[in-house]
Amino acid sequence: MSWNNIQLIFLREVQDQLRDRRTLFMVAVLPLLLYPALGIGMLQMTMLFREQPRTVVILGAEYLPPPQLLKENRFVFTDRLTVTTEADLDKSDRDGPDSHAVQLIDQAKVIREKLRNRDQLEADIELVMQELNDEDRTTALQTELDQIEQDLIQIFASSQIQVLIIVPERFAEHLEKAKRQLVDRKVGAQNNFDYPRPIIVKNRADDKSEVAYTQVKQAMDAWEQEILKEQLSLAHLPETLPKPVGPKSVDLAGKKQIAANLWSKLFPALLVIMAVTGAFYPAVDLVAGEKERGTMETLLICPATRSEIVMGKFFTVMLFSASTALLNLASMGATGQYMVSVAGSGAFSRIGDIAFPSPASLIWLIVLLIPLAALFSALSLALATFARSTKEGQYYLTPLLMVTMGLTVFCLSPAVEIKPFYSIIPIVGVALLLKALLLAPVPTNELYFYVVPVLVTSIGYSLLALWWAVEQFKSEEVLFREAERFELRLWIRHLLCDKKPTPSFEEAGFCFVIIMLLQFVSLKFMGQAIEHATLANASIEANELKKAIGLLLLKLLMIQQLVIIFCPALFMGATLATSFVRTFRFRMPKFSMLALAVILPLVLHPLSLEFLSQLNWFFPKLSESVVKNFETMSDVQQPMWFVLLAFALTPAICEETAFRGFILSGFSRSGRVGLAIVLSSLMFGVTHMVPQQVFNATLLGLVLALIAIRSNSLLPAIIFHFIYNSLGVLHARVSTSWVETAPINWFFYVEDDTVRYEWPTLVIAAFVAIALLRWLVRQSNAETTSSVTFVHSPKPERLAGTGAATKPPIEIA
Amino acid sequence: MIHVSELTKNFLDLRLGHVTALECVNFNVQPGEIFGLLGPNGAGKTTCLRILSTVLRPTSGTATITGFDVSTHPAEVRNRIGFMSGNTGIYDRMTAWEMVEYFGRLYGMAEDTLQERITSIFTTLQMYDFKDVLGSKMSTGMKKKVSIARTIVHDPPVLIFDEPTSGLDVLVARKVLETIGLLRDQGKCIMYSTHIMREVEKLCDRIAIIHKGIILATGTPKELEHQHSKPDMEELFFELIDNYERQCRDEGYKAAALA
């Protein structure tokens, strides 16, 4: 790769973009104008903004006790609400009846009536249930009650009342009586404080009602406080009596911290979004635009290689992505700060003085922006290469933006903080680390600990995306795609008629998508089935129930494997490929491969078990329901053969058919076996959903795929998979007592009721595993290992097995 | 200079299925010679030239240019050819001078030789009046001149022109043909594809008539006219294509009869 060419292309592309009015507008003009314009708009809005008065209706306002709660259609304690009472009806008599007030009061009265009915009915039901024990009657009453509740919801929602207060009759009198008794100290014997209380009706689902309710509550609380104060002084009790604890809160949030809090919410999200948009438009213009303007071929015939061209363009896009993001942040920060200083006593004054983040935070921001911009630039370039025109390219922005937005919104949640697992997820790691760095007044060592994984994985993802972009650029089909009309009929005919012995790369990918979709759909059915089983078996005792549900889960697991994984792969194999035998590797393997498939899982299982337990801190904790389901399924009560069938045999056959059969064959058709192994095992991992298992399954997938490729048969992979899973089942069920005896406890020990492996076992297992894997890697693929190729191979010693390695290979000319 | 043997290229098209764009094409081109590739639209001319320029990879067969194989040493090949076709446009947001300079630098030319070379090309092709005009503001004729300048800036031994006169008026077309003639006289090895018979008659030393990916005849225009006893290229061309179509039909009938 010549840096000279990359630099030449980079400089030309930058110059080209700077001469383009659209790019300049997007990158520079828009952020510099947008935020000040938004700021002016917001200032104007706050000047024009006046809160809409909400409607509160009080029935029985005449029964309200002193002190005064209302003063001319307003609460004494807040003036943000208009109150309508029955008194308004009399008032409006002077110039005709006030139709609005009449309507409100009528609606309120209907609601009051219904509420009374409801209370009556509830009391009736209680009575019937306890004394008559008449089920039919209870059901009838219950239906009536439901009806009334439905009516109430509907009437209140359709009325114009936001909050309705119903003061019971003679409320003031009751209160007065209670007060007198308090003065005479007669409380106790017959409790006279047990009088009907006012009711406040609201609708939590309606924002207007909820807002009005909060204000009503504030006003009523203040008012109640007054009444309480009076009662206490009458009873000669201290005012502080109702609040014996009454803690005082001290807010130690510094001004800088408040600002940091604001920036930590705004900056990561804005940085991510702006890095995407800043990368995408130049990328589309640089690749799809070049195709459209007919200069692509000019560039392809110059001596620069495809990788150099992509790199040159990549650095250009990255430059624009990073500068867009930085300019946006700078402009937004400056505008925000200016607005706060201008607003003074206005609506923004509550935010306080928002100082800019410290220089250290800003440096972190730039450091983290680089891998982020790199990732988006490479992704955008790959997508843009695929597009035939700038217009088509812009359609691809939407999915990229949606995924990015989803991840960003996830990071915005205050509950989500950076954890080891999150630090390796693309975008999420960067956004969370940045959030933490902006928030912390002094970054702790813990945060610095995350910098390395976040940067390393981000750069890794960027390189992967870049590699994809280069691949796209090297593909003739992508680069010279004709603008042909897409026709579903033609496409299906092509799929079914122009088949090859094994499926294509795209078909293998599609098989995975189908499996994931089916898995997503099945989640609902699994949940429903468990719920039904729990309900149906409610009468039996807990232990029995556990067994029944466990059995059901095991059955569901098997059905899921068969329907979701096995069937799609088999069906696609039958329809999309001509050779069933080659696609699913129906072939008797060599004996050595079968032996390997038996021994390798025996040594890999202890290693992966200990390895995963060492990595436990890294993964997020599983939710309780998931853990419970696992426990129920692998419970000791279940028959052993059934658990083995569900956990070992079915997955071994189903998953191998799909992942080492259809998907691996499809990915490896073009001859890129390494890529096929990695991709198929990643997909195998992803279908396992739970992060721990995803990790473990991906590693195992590599081994399984290598076995399948080397033996060119599915049988060793199935045997390996079966034995590996069976070991997991046995490990969970084996009794721990036998481990105590002398020679055995050198190799095993017991912790938390499970058998664990001592280091000698692990060392032996590691040695055997490495030897076996080395042998496996050095094997040649079975398809080509006929006796002829064995002899003519340029490196015969690499093909020989462990036993044959010492013998000199026979040369036949 | 250019050796092409058994060159084949297959495409996959949804509508047509597997398409053979080129089938076992063979020819050689020597320095100081213009080799014409004559064929109707869709005959496979562009595919053949794109393989020679290493933009497409052949399905089978080999092509070597100045001794370098196009599939194994694409970078060396690209360094030694100048390629111009209807699809090699010029950048809208670059001036004529910048465009030629940019490609000269990509070919790794030293700065002083490059400036000299551009000056001489701009003088010969009379390009000084639009030296600083942006691509988007140029007329078709100006753009063609910039393209030619871009093609020859690194003084390559092999030049490939794919329908260079399409869409040009008579005056500009004539200028282009004159330039190509001059380049031959400098001893360049030139491939020239077109569907216009007069250009072939006037310019090409040897021609190949290509149709549906197959070369129907190769030779000097005079030879071919004599062999098939036709008065001019046009008659010869139609005769060859008619013969081929008839042969295909007959074979189709035979195959049907056998089945």
Residue-wise pLDDT for A73-107, tens only, equals 788 777 778 888 888 777 655 555 567 888 888 88
Strands (E) in chain B, as ranges, are 2-13, 17-29, 33-38, 60-65, 68-69, 81-85, 158-162, 189-194, 206-211, 214-219
Say which amino acid occupies A163. Answer: V
pLDDT score, position B259: 65
pLDDT in tens, A570-585: 998 888 888 888 888 8
Pairwise CB contact (< 8 Å): B78 & A303: yes
Question: Is residue A130 within 8 Å of A124, Cβ to Cβ?
Answer: no
Q: Model pTM greater than 0.80?
A: no
Say which amino acid occupies B94. Answer: M
Coil vs helix vs strand at A810: coil
Pairwise CB contact (< 8 Å): A487 & B14: yes
Distance of CA A537 to the CA centre of its chain: 34
Pairwise CB contact (< 8 Å): A301 & B81: yes
Closest-CA distance of chain A to residue B221, Å:
30
b/e map A389-427, b = 16+ CB within 10 Å: ebebbeebbeebeeebeebbeebeeeeeebeebbbbbbb
Distance of CA B102 to the CA centre of its chain: 23
Residue A12 has pLDDT above 90, yes or no: yes
CA gap B166, B86 in Å, rounded = 7
With cut-offs at 50, 70 and 90, classify the pLDDT of residue A794. Answer: very low
pLDDT in tens, B119-144: 999 988 888 898 899 988 988 888 88
Say which amino acid occupies A424. Answer: I
Residue carrying structure tokens 């005709």: A96
Pairwise CB contact (< 8 Å): A305 & B75: yes
Closest-CA distance of chain A to residue B215, Å:
24
With cut-offs at 50, 70 and 90, classify the pLDDT of residue A486. Answer: low
Using alpha carbons, list the distances in angstroms from residue A606 to A697, A734, A761, A766: 15, 14, 8, 9
With cut-offs at 50, 70 and 90, classify the pLDDT of residue B118. Answer: very high
DSSP element (H, E) containing A602: helix A591-614
Residue carrying structure tokens 């004054």: A349
**Residue A114 contacts B, CB cutoff 8 Å:** no
pLDDT in tens, B162-171: 888 887 888 8
Which of A647, A690, A654 has the alpha carbon at shortest distance from A555? Answer: A647
Residue carrying structure tokens 């006037």: B202
**Residue A300 contacts B, CB cutoff 8 Å:** yes
Side-chain-facing half-sphere of A134: CA atoms under 13 Å: 12
Residue B190 has pLDDT above 70, yes or no: yes
Rg (CA), chain B: 20
Which of B36, B31, B65, B1 has the alpha carbon at shortest distance from B184? Answer: B31
Mean pLDDT of A607-623: 80
Coil vs helix vs strand at B57: coil
CA gap A502, A671 in Å, rounded = 12
Pairwise CB contact (< 8 Å): B94 & A491: no
Residue B148 has pLDDT above 70, yes or no: yes
DSSP one-letter string for A232-250: HHHTT--TTTT-SS-PPP-
pLDDT in tens, A120-132: 888 888 888 777 7
**Phi, psi (rounded to 5 degrees) for A668:** -95, 5
Pairwise CB contact (< 8 Å): A303 & B54: no
Pairwise CB contact (< 8 Å): A302 & B108: no
Pairwise CB contact (< 8 Å): B56 & A480: yes
Question: Is residue A381 within 8 Å of A283, Cβ to Cβ?
Answer: yes
Question: Is residue A566 within 8 Å of A657, Cβ to Cβ?
Answer: yes
Closest-CA distance of chain B to residue A297, Å:
5
Q: Which residues of B touch A476 (CB under 8 A)?
A: 56-57
CB-nearest partner of A476 from B56, B87, B94: B56
Determine the angle formed by the axes of helices B140-152 and B96-106, rounding to 10 degrees: 20
Closest-CA distance of chain B to residue A762, Å:
48
CA gap A53, A763 in Å, rounded = 76
DSSP one-letter string for A276-312: HHHHHHHHHHHTHHHHHTT-HHHHHTSSS-HHHHHHH
pLDDT score, position A733: 76
Nearest chain A residue to B81, by CA: A301
Distance of CA B215 to the CA centre of its chain: 15
Q: Which two tokens stand for residue A444?
A: 């702790």
Residue carrying structure tokens 């198929």: A680
CA gap A179, A195 in Å, rounded = 12
Mean pLDDT of A539-548: 73
pLDDT score, position A187: 56
Closest-CA distance of chain A to residue B226, Å:
38
ipTM of predicted assembly, 2 dp: 0.91
CA gap A272, A404 in Å, rounded = 8
pLDDT score, position A721: 93
Pairwise CB contact (< 8 Å): A16 & B57: no
Kindly give, in sequence order, each residue whose CB lies less than 8 Å from that of residue B139, ignoring residues fewer than 6 positions away. none
Residue A350 has pLDDT above 50, yes or no: yes
CA gap A505, A515 in Å, rounded = 16
Mean pLDDT of B213-230: 84
3-state secondary structure A489-529: HHHHHHHHHCCECCCCHHHHHHHHHHHHHHHHHHHHHHHHH
**Residue A19 contacts B, CB cutoff 8 Å:** yes
CA gap A320, A377 in Å, rounded = 9
Mean pLDDT of A483-493: 70
Residue A791 has pLDDT above 80, yes or no: no
Closest-CA distance of chain A to residue B147, Å:
9
Nearest chain A residue to B79, by CA: A303
Q: Could you tell me which residue, A165 or A67, shows the higher pLDDT?
A: A165
Cβ burial, residue A625 (10 Å; 0-12/13-18/19+): exposed
pLDDT in tens, A367-378: 889 989 999 999
Which of A298, A309, A485 is most worth mutating to test chain B (most B CB atoms within 10 A of its CB)?
Answer: A298
**Phi, psi (rounded to 5 degrees) for B4:** -120, 125
Kindly give, in sequence order, each residue whose CB lies less than 8 Å from that of residue A342, ignoring residues fewer than 6 positions away. A43
DSSP state of B82: E
pLDDT in tens, B240-250: 888 888 888 88
Residue A176 has pLDDT above 50, yes or no: yes
CA gap B244, B231 in Å, rounded = 20
End-to-end CA distance of chain A: 40
Mean pLDDT of B94-114: 92
pLDDT in tens, A388-397: 888 888 888 8
Pairwise CB contact (< 8 Å): B12 & A302: no
Pairwise CB contact (< 8 Å): B90 & A5: no
Determine the angle formed by the axes of helices A691-711 and A673-686, rounding to 10 degrees: 150
Distance of CA A688 to the CA centre of its chain: 16
pLDDT score, position A806: 35
Nearest chain B residue to A302, by CA: B78
Residue A192 has pLDDT above 70, yes or no: no
Closest-CA distance of chain A to residue B130, Å:
19
User: How many other CB atoms are there within 10 angstroms of residue A565's CB atom?
Assistant: 25
Whether cis (ω within 30° of 0) applies to the bond prior to A67 is yes
pLDDT score, position A215: 87
Q: Which residues of A touch B91 (CB under 8 A)?
A: 16, 293, 295
